[in-house]
Structure 1
């Protein structure tokens, strides 16, 4: 997703001496409540309104002194909101066309995959999926790691832990991709499951922190 609001912060003359991910997530939790309370048309104006309500005091608290520091804090807030706040994702969804296979679901999909098909998935292969803006993310899957390569050749590395019923957890380790390194911190865990396969294309569900299910398609690399 595009960063619609970050440019709006260049006018803040604030500075940062340091902040923890716990402080960022505490702030994003309060901001999420404001996004949940939004009424009417979802647009950039409402996003700006929420940020202006919550961030000035936070920037002062952590002591920001330069535009670069302000941009860095704004990046982290923006992406942690995407990870932790479904209401914020709903607003962003109104601002950009979905060119991916990611779809919001009403409930957890029923599994329609055999043990043999599930074993084949976890045997280690090369896949790809489409991001919201249509960019391709390549996935190298082994018995222990899930490595993503993005369109700009940056990467992310996650541990994969297989569970029952063709479900698995991904634990974030590291990334040099700007979005992913601001979205996640080491140790963050993401919950997935494979619920069907069609001609080599796997259909997965993902469960967010707000207990919202999404589906995505994982294609074999040719």
Structure 2
């Protein structure tokens, strides 16, 4: 998963507080993504601010948000849900932050070159780690049906681990106290992965997004 350090400060005053469903938030994200695609000639560092200023004031007014705390919480949720669901938004952020990891963009899902025996060594579980986009380490404990991530700030995420055929597996989000993960995902969100290479004991894994964008990254076994 990627960790971006862009701070957006937006202050608004409204009349009342209402709870927001993820459907409402994802709906405004779709509109923001559409607006972003039309900003071809704008500098990348200005695009994020433009779409937030264009869409969020009207959205907050429509749903009667009057608390800055609630507004900030929704802003965080929108920011990270955009990363999950909008390729153009991810592309902009990619240009604004140096990649200090081994994450790469793949043209398509690669076919697995890993033997069943080698795959079984991964699926039986154990302790692993991978690097986030900014180079931070995420420790992973894999059990028969759980995938537990622990981050450098001592927060964690819990996901269900669903092994499939041909080296593929799904992760189903349960919960997290990590700021990014709890805003990026909601309970039940599924993420599709597949192991496609094994080099010197290190697994190359692809991640397929809902918009069909595919990324590759390494998962390292812990000594």
Pick the TM interval, shorter chain. Answer: over 0.9
Instruction: Rate the CA distance shift 1:76–1:16 in 2: closer, same or farther, 3 A.
Output: farther
Equivalent position of 1:148 in the other structure? 149
- Distance (whole Å) between structure 2 residues aligned to residue 195 and residue 37 of structure 1: 36
Is residue 98 of structure 1 aligned with residue 99 of structure 2?
A: yes
Counterpart among 6, 9, 16 of residue 8 in structure 2: 6
The offset of 1:41, in angstroms, is 5.2
Measured against aligned partners, the alpha-carbon deviations of 1:158-214 in whole angstroms (never above 9, x if no partner) come to 001111101010000000101100100000000000001111110000000110110
TM-score (norm 2): 0.95
The offset of 1:147, in angstroms, is 0.4
Equivalent position of 2:190 in the other structure? 189
Is residue 175 of structure 1 aligned with residue 176 of structure 2?
A: yes
Equivalent position of 1:166 in the other structure? 167
Aligned length: 220
- Aligned with 1:60: secondary structure? helix
- Aligned with 1:19: secondary structure? coil
Measured against aligned partners, the alpha-carbon deviations of 1:86-139 in whole angstroms (never above 9, x if no partner) come to 110000011110111111111111211000001111011111111111110000
TM-score (norm 1): 0.95
- Structure 1 gaps of 5+ residues are none
CA contact (8 A) 1:16 1:70 kept: no
- Distance (whole Å) between structure 2 residues aligned to residue 218 and residue 124 of structure 1: 12
- Distance (whole Å) between structure 1 residues aligned to residue 190 and residue 17 of structure 2: 28
- Distance (whole Å) between structure 2 residues aligned to residue 165 and residue 16 of structure 1: 48
Matches within 5 A, 1:1-222: 1-7=3-9, 9=10, 11-14=11-14, 16-40=17-41, 42-222=43-223
Instruction: Rate the CA distance shift 1:41–1:202 in 2: closer, same or farther, 3 A.
Output: farther
- Distance (whole Å) between structure 1 residues aligned to residue 144 and residue 101 of structure 2: 27
The offset of 1:36, in angstroms, is 2.1
- Aligned with 1:116: secondary structure? helix
**Stretch moving more, 153-162 or 32-41:** 32-41
CA contact (8 A) 1:102 1:216 kept: yes
CA contact (8 A) 1:156 1:177 kept: yes
Query: How large is the RMSD of aligned CA atoms in angstroms?
Result: 1.3
- Aligned with 2:196: secondary structure? strand
